[in-house]
Amino acid sequence: MPQIFGGLWLENLVRQDEQYDLQCELFASGFIRGIQLRVAHPGYTPSVTTENLPQLAQKLPDGMKVFVHFGAENVGVDWGERLDEQGAYAEHGHAHGISWRDWNRETILWGQTVARVFDRAPGAPLGVAHPGYGLGPDDVIARSRIVSGLLDVGTGSDVALETVPPVADRTASAAVIKKATAWPDPQYWGFGGTPRDMKELITDLGPGWKCFYDWSHLIVMSNQARFGAELGVPRGCFDEKWRSIDNVVEEYLELPHWPICQYSGAPEGIVPVHDRFPSRIPEPVLAGLREMEVICLEIPWDRWTASDRVRRFQDEVR
């Protein structure tokens, strides 16, 4: 049975707020064995320094493992320097004279510093990153930035590559992300978002790099493959066989990957959402989840439903 991890932002831990209390209670009750800790740019937590990090780590219960999720596009991190999902980089980075590359770099390096202080998940890298976005699969400038940027901050042993949905569509995303209406371009391409694209990215980065499965993103990717023509995605970006989630999972499992993953339910559309949990898990995804050592749940955490949701998920994966 895989270990189940809950989730916190570093800000929750600093404040020791309701989310912090809930995760500690779930751990004490045996529902979770650890947490995925989202770490954004150090500017988000100015009171935390390398000197007082050890004291911060002691706020977690003994035995609670930690896996770091390096800040992604929702906090302004995009190695392709194309998608500032919530306008975070523009407001907190660009407005203060920080280049996008430096913002990305400072975020990942800070996340690695944080990860080294906590009791980490066994057999896991320091953390996971979204590779980055381009204006399309042929955006060679963005792809070059992604490869050089990732190589600048880590190796395959400390940075995992998350499987993101390949298409971020402004119109479709606006229903879930309010600020998507302000995106300057109508569509973005998440590199590593298809099995073929991830294989090429790993090859470019070199030996030791591995992908990290977000199983819900794989479901969205398969949904996008079915609606590729409607999305206006260039012909050839999606193989027809990827319309079947069975084929998507089979091809991704052939790639080098970590035994730790994320899951947030089975979205029915082309935009990742976290409100489809619990929901019926597609059989190939369920089989893949059972092969993992750690599953980080990315779900709405509230005191009234959290334990029941985790219990039902455990029963299905068991």
pLDDT digits (tens, 9 = 90+) for 155-180: 889 999 999 999 999 999 998 999 99
User: Would you state the pLDDT for residue 255?
Assistant: 98
Distance CA 198, CA 211 (A): 8
Distance CA 21, CA 33 (A): 15
Backbone angles phi, psi at 289, to 5 degrees: -60, -40
- The predicted-structure confidence for 206-218, as pLDDT tens digits, reads as follows 999 999 999 999 9
Place of tokens 């930035």: 145
CB 267 within 8 A of CB 223: yes
pTM of the model: 0.97
- The predicted-structure confidence for 125-144, as pLDDT tens digits, reads as follows 999 999 999 999 999 999 99
Structure tokens at 40: 């954004």
Which ranges of the chain does DSSP label H, i.e. alpha helix? 10-15, 18-28, 53-57, 88-92, 100-117, 140-153, 170-173, 195-205, 215-226, 228-231, 245-253, 283-290, 306-317
Average pLDDT over residues 223-227: 92
Say yes or no to pLDDT of 232 above 90. no
User: Would you state the pLDDT for residue 208?
Assistant: 94
Q: Which fold has domain 3-317?
A: TIM Barrel (3.20.20)
User: Would you state the pLDDT for residue 122?
Assistant: 84
19-26: long-range contacts (C-beta < 8 A, 24 or more apart)?
Answer: 19/301, 20/59, 22/301, 22/302, 22/303, 22/306, 23/301, 24/60, 24/61, 24/64, 26/306, 26/307, 26/310
Q: How many degrees, rounded to 5, is the angle at CA 213 between CA 302 and CA 167?
A: 90
CB 161 within 8 A of CB 202: yes
First to last CA, the chain: 6
Say yes or no to pLDDT of 55 above 90. yes
The chain-wide mean pLDDT, for the chain, equals 95
Distance CA 112, CA 256 (A): 22
